[in-house]
Amino acid sequence: MTVRALDHVNIVTADLAASIAFYREVVGLVEGPRPAFPFPGAWLYCGERPVVHLMVREAAATGSRGTGAIDHVAFEGEDFDGFRQRLAARGIAHETRLVPGGAMRQIFLFDPDGVRIELNFRR
Q: Mind listing the pLDDT tens digit of every residue in the chain (123 residues)?
A: 665 778 899 998 989 999 999 999 999 999 999 988 888 999 999 999 999 999 986 655 555 555 566 778 989 999 999 999 999 999 999 999 998 888 889 999 999 988 999 899 988
Are 64 and 12 a contacting pair, CB within 8 Å? Answer: no
**Domain regions of the chain by residue span:** 9-63+71-122
Of 69, 116, 111, the C-alpha closest to 97 is 116
Are 110 and 116 a contacting pair, CB within 8 Å? Answer: yes
Q: Could you give the CA distance from residue 105 to residue 8 in angstroms, rounded to a whole number?
A: 23
Top CATH class, 9-63+71-122: alpha beta
Q: Could you give the CA distance from residue 105 to residue 123 in angstroms, rounded to a whole number?
A: 8
pLDDT at 70: 73
Give residue 53's identity as a one-letter amino acid code: H
Q: Could you give the CA distance from residue 48 to residue 30 in angstroms, rounded to a whole number?
A: 10
Dihedral of alpha carbons 49, 51, 54, 60, sign: positive
